[in-house]
Amino acid sequence: MTQIITDSVADLEPEELERLDVACVPISVSFGERSYKENLELSKEGFYRLLRESPDFPRTSQPAPGDFLQAFSPAKERGDAAVMITMSQRFGGIYEGALLAAKLLDYADAYVVDSRGAAGGERILVETAVKLRDEGRPAAEIAERLEQLRDRIVLYACPDTMENLRRGGRVPALVAAIGSAVHVKPVLHIAAGGEVVIAARELGKRRAMHFFAQQMHRRPPDPAYPVYVMYSDIRENAEQMAALLRQEGFAPDEGLINVGVAMGTHIGPNAFGLAYVAK
CATH code assigned at 129: 3.40.50.10170
Q: Give me the phi and psi of 74, to 5 degrees please.
A: -60, -40
Q: Are residues 29 and 143 in the same domain?
A: yes
- pLDDT-derived band at 92, boundaries 50, 70, 90: confident
The mean pLDDT of the chain is: 90
Rounded to an integer, what distance in angstroms lies between the CA atom of residue 132 and that of residue 23?
A: 16
Sheet arrangement for strand 272-277: 196-203, 184-190, 153-158, 272-277, 228-231, 257-258
CATH code of the domain containing 162: 3.30.1180.10
Q: Is residue 120 a contact partner of residue 273, using CB atoms and an 8 Å limit?
A: yes
Tell me, what DSSP letter sits at residue 216?
A: H
Q: Are residues 41 and 138 in the same domain?
A: yes
Residue 92, classified by CB atoms within 10 Å of its CB into exposed (0-12), middle (13-18) or buried (19+), is: buried
Identify whether residues 32 and 143 lie together within a single domain: yes
Q: What are phi and psi of 113, to 5 degrees?
A: -115, 120
> CA-CA-CA-CA torsion for 276, 230, 204, 212, nearest 10 degrees?
10
Q: What is residue 161's predicted lDDT score, i.e. its pLDDT?
A: 64
Confidence of residue 163 (pLDDT cuts 50, 70, 90): low
Q: Is the confidence at residue 140, as pLDDT, over 70?
A: yes
How many other C-beta atoms can be found within 10 angstroms of the C-beta atom of residue 113? Answer: 24
pLDDT value at residue 187: 85
Tell me how many domains the chain contains. Answer: 2
State the pLDDT at residue 175: 44
Give the pLDDT band (50/70/90) at residue 24.
very high
Q: What is the spatial distance between Cα 278 and Cα 219, in angstroms, rounded to a whole number?
A: 6
Among candidate residues 108, 128, 150, the one where a domain is terminated: 150
242 vs 269, more confident: 242
Give the highest mean pLDDT range of 23-27, 61-65, 156-160, 176-180: 23-27
Q: How far apart are CA 225 and CA 69, in angstroms?
A: 31
Determine the pLDDT at residue 162: 62
Does residue 173 have a pLDDT over 50? no
Q: Would you say residue 147 has pLDDT above 50?
A: yes
Q: Are residues 46 and 120 in the same domain?
A: yes
The predicted structure's pLDDT at residue 165: 57
Give the confidence band of 180 by pLDDT, cuts at 50, 70, 90: low
Residues 40 and 133 in one domain: yes
Q: What integer is the mean pLDDT of 186-190?
A: 83
The pLDDT of residue 268 is 84
Question: Do 132 and 209 share a domain, yes or no?
Answer: no
| Mean pLDDT along residues 203-220 | 92
Q: Are residues 133 and 160 both part of a single domain?
A: no
User: What confidence category does residue 167 fall into, taking pLDDT thresholds of 50, 70 and 90?
Assistant: low
Residues 140 and 208 in one domain: no
My answer on whether 174 and 114 are in the same domain is no
Closest Cα to residue 73, out of 133, 142, 5? 5
The percent of residues above 70 in pLDDT, for the chain, comes to 91
Distance, in Å, from the CA atom of 89 to the CA atom of 12, rounded to the nearest integer, reads 19
Full domain range(s) for residue 64: 2-150
Q: For the chain, give percent helix, strand, coil, nearest 5.
A: 45, 25, 30
Question: Nearest to residue 11, comparing CAs of 100, 123, 102?
Answer: 123
Q: Which of 109-113, 141-145, 233-237 has the lowest mean pLDDT?
A: 233-237
Domain termination site, one of 135, 150, 165 = 150
Asked whether residue 178 carries a pLDDT value surpassing 50, the answer given is no
- Residues 159 and 142 occupy one common structural domain: no
Average pLDDT for 62-85: 95
Does residue 164 register a pLDDT over 70?
Answer: no
List residues bridging with 153 in a β-sheet.
277
Q: Give Cβ neighbours of residue 57 (< 8 Å, ≥ 6 apart).
A: 167, 168
Query: Where among 128, 150, 172 does a domain terminate?
Result: 150
Average pLDDT over residues 10-25: 96
Task: Answer yes or no: is pLDDT of 119 > 90.
Answer: yes
Same domain, 158 and 130: no
What is d(CA 121, CA 151) in angstroms, rounded to the nearest whole number? 10
Contact 125, 153 (CB under 8 A): yes
- Co-location of 83 and 205 in the same domain: no
